[in-house]
Amino acid sequence: MLADYGCVPTIAVKDLQRARDFYEGLLGFTQQGDSPDGVVYAAGSTSFLVYPSAFAGTNKATAMGFQVPSGSFDSEVGALRDKGISFQTFEMEGLTWNDGVASFGEEYRAVWFEDPDGNILNVETDSDAG
User: For residues 14 and 53, what is the distance between their CA atoms, to the nearest angstrom?
Assistant: 6
Question: Residue 115 is part of a domain; what is its CATH number?
Answer: 3.10.180.10
Contact assessment for residue 40 and residue 32, using Cβ atoms and an 8 Å cutoff: yes
Listed residue (7, 127, 6) closest to 67, CA to CA: 127
pLDDT digits (tens, 9 = 90+) for 22-63: 999 999 999 997 777 899 999 998 999 999 999 998 999 999
Number of domains in the chain: 1
Q: Is residue 130 part of a domain?
A: no
Q: Does residue 130 register a pLDDT over 50?
A: no
Contact assessment for residue 70 and residue 95, using Cβ atoms and an 8 Å cutoff: no
Q: What is the mean pLDDT of residues 90-104?
A: 93
Please tell me the pTM assigned to this model: 0.87
Domain boundaries, position 64: 2-125
Biggest CA–CA distance in the chain, Å, is: 44
Per cent of the chain over pLDDT 70 is 96
